[in-house]
């Protein structure tokens, strides 16, 4: 019964999200796209975190997806919609290859290496002037779907839906058990027959693919990219903050964090035009300090407390 | 009956006047950056001055500013809000080319009149295309700036024969702004072998860098007559300090950031550093409009304008107000026609008109100025008609 209620709530939320363009104007839909993009990145980051691996490579893979999609359109003459698929697959394939090297590392060595990925990709694209446009980036002939606000919203929603679906699968399948076992104690997991490298490679490849997909959607929605835009550190830092605020190791936590921080950011900007970023930063620091388990963790604690 | 009719007519007229409300000017700038902060403040100053003088067409102006946070997606969302939620009559502002690129699709979608104060990269011009007749670009494009500097140095060398430039080294921040500056410098200064050009990139302190050792070393080895750096205000003092530590003293030490750090002139290191810009407080001596702007800004905000984005944004408001007055309405077609006929004596020390650029039809300012920090003040060296001082040459040894 409880599970059925949950599925019904999820279905209702999905229908509501899909129907939003019927009620909202261009500006709220634009803000919603931004929130959904960060939400997908936060959830995908959390999916790998469930194995205990802290990746700082979100911006790198997001940017890679952006550039792959833009260059497929510009250099290979591919249809923008097709470029989304191929850019996503390209990011996944590259992540699979890189995974063989970086997943031999653990803890901060893994984190630092993933952080370096974004910088390496950025520098490479900076220097491939004739191919990537160098520091000035590339401008596409147009925005996908002719820039139609509703279509762009649904495209982004589609990307988010795929991410949430995969995350849900991560939570419900045996993958969840394997990743949790790896996080809790790698040695015990290995002695229990868990193929650690295989599971980590699967998780790293899938989460990277999702991040690349969101990058591809982003570039087709704005019609241009530059190394500084595509590999902006905010694409790493904000999803982390959102996941920490909402609560890690779940799908719901990063979602809640993304909604709250995404809307708070826009609201603060309109209310405090000068200095809103300072207030925003203070809120993030305070929330993380005072609620280390995030909103979902806090809710669970209260529920457990009440039950006891 | 007659009295009732007259009363009703008066009420209706008042309601119509009230219904017309204010003329809404939407604007986006990066408010955490000195350019956007002072640009928006100066625009508000212009709005207040115009409203105090009775407004435009009997209506008050209202400025609605949104922070673009120097991010393309935020800049695009800001345009959507200004047009669809705030229902602005036209849009002004902007600083970063990257943000402008993100805003172009939304601007094209709505076709509102835009008077842009920023975006120097010609990539933005290419993205706009020749059909964007609603786009009025006040800031010079990168190729305008390069051509202007080449002309300026030619004229300075002719007038002051002791100034001799053959070798130029450009240290440029590794982003789009710096790279575009380097490319244009190579094209415009390197043409016909007049100058020898070399350069190297650096990571700006504004973007997490701040170590200029390798780029300054490369410059020192090249022994340039003119050393030029294209970066941001955060690079100004640290680069000078490192140049001093390395005893690097080129004939001309020149910076081209969009704005200088507040109080840069009070540092002893600033003495005789040259700069590219559009405006300096010293222009007050040759331009009454500049003095009016400057005095008004200082009186209102108790601070000195530290970037040319302040008078540029102030000019944008006066230009649109004047165009609305001549158009007699805020109708887009009428406004475009009126803006094309703009002739505005600006605080930048020059009259602004709109003429075609390489692609777009409405380009405002095409030239910059060459200035020099002398005794804590920015003095105009070139163009000579607005010069406030002679150049100090060469840049003294440390």
Q: Which CATH class is domain B2-141+285-352?
A: alpha beta
Contacts of A223 in chain B (CB under 8 A): 101, 104-105, 127
A230-270 pLDDT per residue, tens = 999 889 999 999 999 999 999 999 999 999 999 998 899 88
Q: Give contacts of A 141-200 with B, CB under 8 A.
A: 142-143, 147, 149
Tell me how far CA of residue B81 lies from CA of A296, B77, B103, B147, B171, in angstroms.
Answer: 32, 6, 12, 37, 39
Closest Cβ opposite residue A222 in set B73, B85, B176: B73
Q: pTM for this one?
A: 0.86
- Mean pLDDT over B184-210 rounds to 87
Name the residue of chain A whose CA is nearest to B31's CA: A274
Contacts of B200 in chain A (CB under 8 A): none
User: Could you tell me the residue ranges of all domains in chain A?
Assistant: 2-232
Contacts of B104 in chain A (CB under 8 A): 223-224
Query: Could you tell me if A52 lies within 8 Å of chain B, comparing CB atoms?
Result: no
- CA A3/CA A243 separation, integer angstroms: 24
- Mean pLDDT over B248-264 rounds to 89
Distance from chain centroid for Cα A283: 21
B232-249 pLDDT per residue, tens = 888 999 999 999 999 999
Residue B18 has pLDDT above 70, yes or no: no
Query: Could you tell me if A201 lies within 8 Å of chain B, comparing CB atoms?
Result: no
Residue B201 has pLDDT above 70, yes or no: yes
Low-confidence ranges of chain A (pLDDT < 50): 307-308
Query: Could you tell me if B126 lies within 8 Å of chain A, comparing CB atoms?
Result: yes
CB contact under 8 A, A136 and B121: yes
Q: What ipTM does the predicted assembly reach?
A: 0.85
Right CATH for B143-280+369-386 from 3.40.50.2300, 1.10.510.10, 3.40.50.720, 3.50.50.60: 3.40.50.2300
Contacts of A232 in chain B (CB under 8 A): 71
CB contact under 8 A, A147 and B108: yes
- CA B222/CA B235 separation, integer angstroms: 21
What one-character-per-residue DSSP string does B308-372 give? THHHHHHHHHHHHHHHHHHHTS--HHHHHHHHHT--EE-TTSSEE--B--SS-S-B-----EEEE
User: pLDDT tier at B131 (50, 70, 90 boundaries)?
Assistant: very high
Decide if A64 contacts A72 (C-beta within 8 A). no
Angle at B90 between CA B120 and CA B56, to 5 degrees: 120
Residue intervals of chain B classified under CATH 3.40.50.2300 are: 2-141+285-352, 143-280+369-386
Residue B284 has pLDDT above 90, yes or no: yes
CB contact under 8 A, A223 and B127: yes
The conformation of residue B272, written as its DSSP 8-state character, comes to T
Decide if A65 contacts A216 (C-beta within 8 A). yes
Angle at B99 between CA B95 and CA B104, to 5 degrees: 110
Closest Cβ opposite residue B73 in set A34, A142, A143: A34
Closest Cβ opposite residue B80 in set A27, A274, A276: A27
The conformational region for residue A134 under phi > 0 = left, psi -120 to 50 = alpha, else beta, is left
Q: Cis (ω within 30 of 0) for the bond into B394? A: yes
Burial of A255 (0-12, 13-18, 19+ CB in 10 A): buried
Rounded to the nearest angstrom, the minimum Cα separation between A135 and chain B is 5
Side by side, which strands form the sheet with B252-255?
B196-202, B167-173, B226-230, B252-255, B274-277, B369-374, B377-382
Q: What integer pLDDT is reported at residue A308 of this predicted model? A: 40
Closest Cβ opposite residue A30 in set B80, B127, B179: B80
Closest Cβ opposite residue A139 in set B67, B108, B126: B126
């Amino acid at each position: 019964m409880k599970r059925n209620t949950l599925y019904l709530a999820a279905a209702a939320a999905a229908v509501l999200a899909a129907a939003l363009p019927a009620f909202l104007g261009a500006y709220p839909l634009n803000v919603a796209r931004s929130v959904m993009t960060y939400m997908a990145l936060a959830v995908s980051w959390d999916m790998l975190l469930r194995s205990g691996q802290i990746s700082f490579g979100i911006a790198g893979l997001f940017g890679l997806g952006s550039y792959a999609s833009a260059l497929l359109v510009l250099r290979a003459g591919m249809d923008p919609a097709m470029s989304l698929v191929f850019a996503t697959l390209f990011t996944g394939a590259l992540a699979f290859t890189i995974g063989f090297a970086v997943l031999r590392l653990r803890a901060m060595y893994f984190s630092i290496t993933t952080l370096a990925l974004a910088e390496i990709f950025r520098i490479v694209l900076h220097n491939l002037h004739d191919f990537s446009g160098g520091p000035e980036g590339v401008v596409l002939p147009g925005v996908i779907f002719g820039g139609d606000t509703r279509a762009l919203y649904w495209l982004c929603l589609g990307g988010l839906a795929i991410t949430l679906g995969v995350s849900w699968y991560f939570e419900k399948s045996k993958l969840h058990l394997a990743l949790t076992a790896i996080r809790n104690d790698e040695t015990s997991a290995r002695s229990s027959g868990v193929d650690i490298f295989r599971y980590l490679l699967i998780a790293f490849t899938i989460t990277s693919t999702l991040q690349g997909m969101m990058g591809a959607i982003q570039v087709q929605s704005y019609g241009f990219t530059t190394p500084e835009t595509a590999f902006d550190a905010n694409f790493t830092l904000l999803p982390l903050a959102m996941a920490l605020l909402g609560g890690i190791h779940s799908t719901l936590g990063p979602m809640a964090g993304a909604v709250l921080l995404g809307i708070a950011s826009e609201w603060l900007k309109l209310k405090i035009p000068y200095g809103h970023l300072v207030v925003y930063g203070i809120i993030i620091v305070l929330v993380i300090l005072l609620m280390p388990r995030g909103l979902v963790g806090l809710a669970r604690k209260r529920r457990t407390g009440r039950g006891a | 009956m007659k009295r009732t009719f007259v009363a009703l007519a008066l009420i209706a007229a008042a309601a119509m006047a009230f219904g017309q409300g204010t003329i809404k000017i939407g604007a986006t700038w990066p408010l955490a950056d000195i350019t956007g902060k002072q640009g928006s403040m100066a625009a508000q100053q212009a709005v207040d001055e115009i409203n105090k003088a009775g407004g435009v067409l009997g209506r008050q102006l209202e400025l609605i500013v949104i922070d673009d946070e120097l991010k393309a997606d935020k800049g695009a969302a800001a345009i959507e809000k200004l047009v669809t939620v705030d229902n602005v009559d036209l849009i002004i502002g902007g600083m970063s080319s990257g943000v402008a690129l993100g805003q172009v699709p939304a601007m094209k979608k709505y076709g509102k009149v835009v008077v842009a104060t920023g975006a120097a990269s010609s990539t933005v011009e290419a993205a706009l295309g020749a059909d964007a007749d609603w786009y009025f670009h006040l800031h010079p494009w990168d190729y305008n700036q390069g051509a202007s500097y080449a002309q300026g140095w030619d004229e300075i060398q002719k007038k002051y024969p002791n100034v001799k430039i053959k070798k130029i080294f450009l240290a440029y921040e590794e982003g789009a702004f710096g790279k575009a500056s380097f490319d244009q410098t190579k094209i415009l200064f390197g043409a016909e072998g007049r100058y020898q050009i070399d350069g190297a990139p650096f990571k700006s302190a504004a973007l997490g860098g701040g170590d200029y050792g390798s780029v300054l070393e490369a410059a020192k080895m090249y022994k340039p007559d003119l050393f030029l750096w294209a970066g941001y205000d955060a690079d100004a003092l640290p680069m000078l300090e490192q140049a001093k530590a390395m005893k690097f003293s080129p004939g001309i030490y020149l910076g081209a950031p969009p704005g200088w750090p507040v109080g840069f002139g009070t540092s002893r290191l600033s003495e005789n550093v040259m700069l590219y810009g559009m405006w300096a407080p010293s222009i007050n001596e040759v331009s009454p409009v500049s003095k009016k702007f400057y005095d008004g800004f200082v009186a209102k905000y108790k601070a000195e304008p530290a970037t040319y984005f302040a008078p540029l944004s102030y000019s944008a408001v006066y230009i649109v107000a004047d165009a609305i007055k001549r158009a007699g309405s805020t109708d887009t077609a009428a406004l475009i026609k009126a803006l094309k006929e703009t002739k505005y004596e600006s605080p930048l020390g020059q009259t602004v008109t709109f003429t075609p650029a390489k692609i777009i039809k409405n380009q405002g300012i095409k030239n910059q100025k060459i200035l020099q920090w002398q005794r804590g003040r920015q003095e105009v060296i070139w163009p000579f008609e607005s010069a406030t001082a002679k150049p100090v040459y060469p840049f003294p040894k440390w």
